[in-house]
Amino acid sequence: MKELIDKAKELLKEKKVETVIGYREIRGCVVPAYVDSPCDADCLIFDKRCVYNLANYLKWFKNKNVALVLKGCDAKSINVWLQEFQIKRENIFIIGVECYGVMNEKSADAGLSDKCGHCEAHVPNIYDAVIKHQGDKKESVQGEPFKDIQEFEKLPHDERWDFWKKQFEKCIKCYACREICPMCYCKECIVERNIPQWIMSSPSVKGNFEWNMVRAFHLAGRCVECGECERACPVNIPLMKLNKKLIKEMKELFDYSAGQKEDVKSAIDDFYPEKDIKIDDKMIR
Amino acid sequence: MISEMKKFIISKNELKKILAGIVAENIKLIAPVSRDNAFFLEEVSDAEKIAWDYSNVVKPVKEHIFPMREVLLDFGRGTDPPALDEPEARSSGKEKNPAGNMPPVKEQVIFGLRPCDARSLLVLDKPFLQEKYVDSYYKERREKTTLIAMACLNPEKTCLCSSFENGGPFSSAGSDVLCVQTGQDEFLVEILSEKGEKIFKNPSFAQPSGEVLKKLENLKADSEAKICKALKVPENLRELFEAGTWETESLSCIACGICRYLSATCYCFNITDEFEQRLRYWIPCSFKNYTKMTSGEISREKKSARFKHWYFHKFSYHKDNFGEYLCVGCGRCIKYCPVKIDFTEVLGKIGNSKQEQ
Ligand code: SF4
Ligand code: SF4
Ligand code: SF4
C-alpha cells in the first residue's frame, strides 16, 4: 500500500498529473477515489474488494492528465482506447497493480470473480509503474476458459432462446452495463436515438433483445473481460455469457484477443475479407 | 366500515390457501418470486411459487401501478407490439385488439410487498392523483389494486424507512392488510381497509393472544433496532445549489438509471410512438437525453448537473410542491448503485459544505 501511496504523492507533488483515480475505503466498502493533492493520497488502497474498472472514468477525464490505478484486466481497456485513438498515451499515467483476483460481489460466499480464474494478466500488460503484490500469489486455475460457453452452445436452439428470453425479460434498460463499460463511449447510443429510430427505446422483451444484442456485438473484439457490466446489472443478467461467446468467436475466427497491445490494429480496423474470413460450416448455422 | 375483528392469527398454509383462492377467482396475484438470486414482484399462478425468505424485491411496487412500459393509445390497426419472433408488426397482419380498444385492466392483489413500498404509493398518489390533473391510467390501476404488505423482521443495512413519518419496518401506512410473521408457522394479520377485509372474509381465524401481541412488540423493537441509516436533509439545501461539493460527489457516478428506476418513488416518464402505439415508459433524469429538446439543446448536459437534480427533486422541489420528500427510505438506490454511492452520505457532505459564490 505504501508503494501505491508514495507513487501517487510523487505524481501529484511533481505535478505530473492533476488527479489520481484509485480506490479507497469508506463505511466498510471500497469506492472509487479521486485524489487531487498529495496530502489526500493516504486514503488509497488496493485489495480484492477493488472491483471497479477505473479506466471507465477516462470518459470524463479525456484531455486531462490523470493517473489511474489499474488491474491487469482494466489496463487492457487502455490499449483498446489507444488503438481506437480515444486518448493520448502521454496524458495518462498508469499505476498498474499486480493482482491475483477480486471478489465476486454477486455471490454470497465472496469468492473470487469468474474472470480471475483464467486471468493471463496478473501483471498489467501496459503500465508506467507497477505495484507489487504482497502475500501469496494464487495462480489462475488452469483449464478450458470457455468451458461454460461450450456447454451452453451444445444446448438445443429453443432452450438457448428461452434462456435469453427469460433473462432479457428482466432487463430494465437502466444502461448501467453500458455506462460502466470503458468500451461503451459513444456520444449517443443507438438505442437512444429516435429520429430515426433503429431500436425500440421502451423496455419490451423485443426491445430488450435488440438492446442486449447491440451491446454485445459492439463489443466484439473490444471487450476486455473486466466483468463490470455483469457486476453492475441490478437484475443479474449473465452478460458475461454473451461477451465470452464473442471473445471466443474472435479468438477462433481471427485469433484476436482485445487489449493485448496498444500498437497493433484493432480487429475491426484490420479486417480483410479475403484473408480473414475462414468460411466453414461453423459460420453458417 | 371495517369490522371489529381487525387482527387475527393464521398459519402459513391457511395464508397460502387464501392466496390460491385469489388466483381461483381470476384476480391477478402478484407476489415475490425468486429468479437468479434475486427477488421480484411478479404475477404468480401457483401460491407454492411464492418466496418467503426475501429481504426486499429488486423492482419497487410502482411497476404494477405505473408500469415500466404502458400503451397509452393504439392507433388504427391496434396491433400488439410485434412478438419476438415476428419480423415486424405490419407484415404480421394480426389484429389483436380492435382499434382504440385497450386491453382491460384487471383487478390485482399484491402480496408480500414491504412497508416502504406500500407507503411509496401514498407518496406517488399526490402527483398522479392531484385534484386538477388526474392520471387516469394510474388511477384505474391504483383503484383495482389491493396491497397485502409483509412487515420486515430483518431490514437490510441500506434501509432507512424509520426516518420518515409513518415509516418503519412494521409500518402499516398505505397497506390494506399488514402481515407479520410471528412464528415458524404463525402470521399475525391486520386488516386495515375494506379492500383488505374482502380478501380475509373467513371469520373463523383465531384472535391473537396477549402473548402473541407481546411477541409482536418485541419483534418490532428488534427490527427497528437493526436500521442503522438515517436521512438528514440540510435545512438550507436550496442555498447550496451552487456548492462545489456537488461536482466532487458526482465524480464517481456513472450516470446509469439504476437509482432512478429502482427508486420506489421516482416517476419520470417518456412518451414516444413505437409501431402503431403511443407508449409511456420510464426514463431517468440521469440520462443526457432526458432534457434534450427539439432544438437539440440539452439543459443538463453535465453529469454533475444530472446528479444534483435527483437530490433537488426529491428533497427540495417535491417538498415544496407536495409537502413531503420524494423518498420512502427503501434504500434501493444505495444497495444497487454500481459504484456504491450513498445519498445519505452525499447529503451530509453537502450540508457541511460552504455555499460558493
Ligand atoms: S462489455 Fe463488460 S466485460 Fe467487456 S469491457 Fe465492457 S464492462 Fe468490461
Ligand atoms: S444493466 Fe442489466 S438491466 Fe440494466 S440495461 Fe444492462 S442488462 Fe438491462
Ligand atoms: S426500508 Fe424499511 S420497510 Fe423497506 S425493506 Fe427496509 S426495513 Fe423494510
> Alpha-carbon distance B168 to B328, whole Å?
9
Is the separation of the CB atoms in B291 and B300 below 8 Å? yes
Angular region, A165: left φ>0, alpha ψ -120 to 50, beta rest: alpha
The verdict on B41 touching A (C-beta cutoff 8 Å) is no
Confidence of residue B154 (pLDDT cuts 50, 70, 90): very high
* A142-166 pLDDT, tens digit each: 678 898 999 999 999 999 999 999 9
Strand order in the sheet with B269-274: B69-74, B277-282, B269-274
Nearest residue on chain A to B258, judged by CA atoms? A174
Protein residues with CB under 6 Å of any ligand 2 atom? A 171-177, 212, 232-235, 237
Q: Which of B37, B256, B340 sits opposite A236 (nearest CB)?
A: B37
For residue A102, the cross-strand partners are none
Q: What angle do CA A2, A3, A4 make, to 5 degrees?
A: 90
Percentages helix, strand, coil for chain A (3-state, rounded to 5) are 40, 10, 50
Provide the pLDDT for residue B76.
Answer: 61
CA distance B334 to chain A (A): 12
**Is the CB of A170 less than 8 angstroms away from the CB of B35?**
yes
Question: Residues of A at the B interface (Cβ-Cβ below 8 Å)?
Answer: 26-27, 29-32, 34, 52, 56-57, 60, 106, 165-167, 170, 172-176, 178-180, 188, 192, 194, 197, 200-206, 209, 228, 231-232, 234-238
Decide: A35 and A8 in contact? Cβ < 8 Å: yes
Is the CB of A96 inside a 6 Å radius of any atom of ligand 1?
A: no
- pLDDT value of residue A202: 86
> What cell numbers appear for B208 in the block?
391473537
pLDDT at B283: 93
B40–A234 C-beta distance less than 8 A: no
pLDDT of residue B75: 75
pLDDT one-digit tens code per residue, A167-218 = 999 999 999 999 999 999 998 888 887 777 778 888 888 889 999 999 999 9
State the smallest CA–CA distance between residue B35 and chain A in angstroms: 9
Reported as a pLDDT band with limits 50, 70 and 90, residue B131 is: confident
Q: Give the pLDDT score at A283.
A: 53
Q: Looking at the complex, report in whole angstroms how far the Cα of residue A32 sits from the nearest Cα belonging to chain B.
A: 6
Q: Is the pLDDT of residue A106 over 90?
A: no
Q: What is the mean pLDDT of chain B?
A: 89
Judged by CB atoms closer than 8 Å, whether chains meet at A29 and B340 is answered as yes
pLDDT tens-digit profile of A21-70? 999 999 889 999 999 999 999 999 999 999 999 999 999 998 899 999 99
* pLDDT score at B81: 56
Identify which of B38, B258, B281 has the shortest CB distance to residue A203.
B281
The pLDDT tens digits for B10-21 are 999 999 999 999
* Protein residue with least CA distance to atom 3, ligand 2: A171
CA distance A225 to chain B (A): 17
The predicted structure's pLDDT at residue B203: 65
Beta bridge partners of B29: B109
Interchain contact B285–A (C-beta under 8 A): no
**How many whole angstroms separate alpha carbon B263 and alpha carbon B331?**
8
Q: Are B149 and B199 in contact (CB under 8 A)?
A: no
The pLDDT of residue B82: 57
Query: Which of B194, B39, B204, B202 lies closest to B114, judged by CA?
Result: B39
Range of weakest confidence among A39-43, A90-94, B291-295 = B291-295
Average pLDDT, chain A: 89
Q: Pick the residue from chain A with its C-alpha nearest to B247.
A: A34
How close are the terminal C-alpha atoms of chain B, in Å?
A: 58
Within 10 A of B88 (CB to CB), how many other CB atoms are there?
9
pLDDT digits (tens, 9 = 90+) for A239-283: 999 999 999 999 988 888 998 888 888 888 877 766 666 666 555
pLDDT value at position A143? 75
Question: How remote is the C-alpha of B242 from its chain's centroid?
Answer: 31
pLDDT of residue B357: 43
Q: Hey, is B29 helix, strand or coil? A: strand
Is residue B152 lining ligand 3, measured as CB closer than 6 Å? yes
pLDDT of residue B90 exceeding 50: no
pLDDT above 90 for A222: yes
Residue A139 has a pLDDT of 67
* Percent over 90 (pLDDT), chain B: 76
Of B35, B279, B338, Cβ closest to residue A176:
B338
Distance from C-alpha of A30 to C-alpha of A32, rounded to nearest angstrom: 7
Residue B89 has pLDDT above 50, yes or no: no
Average pLDDT on A17-23 reads: 96
Q: Distance between CA atoms of B252 and A31, rounded to whole angstroms?
A: 8
**Residues 6 or more apart from B8 whose CB is under 8 A from it?**
B188, B189, B200, B205, B206, B207, B208
What is the rounded CA–CA span in Å between residue B64 and residue B141?
8
- Cβ-nearest to B251 among A34, A175, A201: A34
Determine whether the interchain pair B256/A175 forms a contact, defined as Cβ–Cβ distance below 8 Å.
yes
**Predicted local distance difference test score (pLDDT) of residue B2:** 54
| pLDDT at A285 > cutoff 80 | no
CB-based contacts of A171: which residues, under 8 Å, 6+ apart?
A203, A208, A211, A212, A235, A237
Nearest-angstrom CA–CA distance, A124 and A112:
18
CA distance from start to end of chain A: 52
Stretch B264-278: mean pLDDT, rounded? Answer: 89
Handedness of CA B263, B266, B267, B268 (dihedral sign): negative
Ligand 1 pocket: which of A78, A183, A233 to mutate (most atoms within 8 A of CB): A183
Residue B241 at interface with chain A, using a CB cutoff of 8 Å: no
Residue with cell 446528479: B307
pLDDT of residue B91: 41
Q: What is the mean pLDDT of residues B134-156?
A: 95
Mean pLDDT, residues B34-54: 94
Which residues, listed in sequence order, are joined to residue A80 by a DSSP beta bridge? Answer: none
The residue ranges of every structural domain in chain B are: 7-225, 237-351
CA dihedral sign of residues B327, B338, A47, B247: negative
CB B15, CB B187: distance < 8 Å = yes
**Residue B6 pLDDT > 90, yes or no?**
no
Cis peptide before A196 (omega within 30 of 0): yes
Looking at residue B240, the DSSP 8-state letter turns out to be G
Distance from the Cα of B38 to chain A's closest Cα (Å) equals: 7
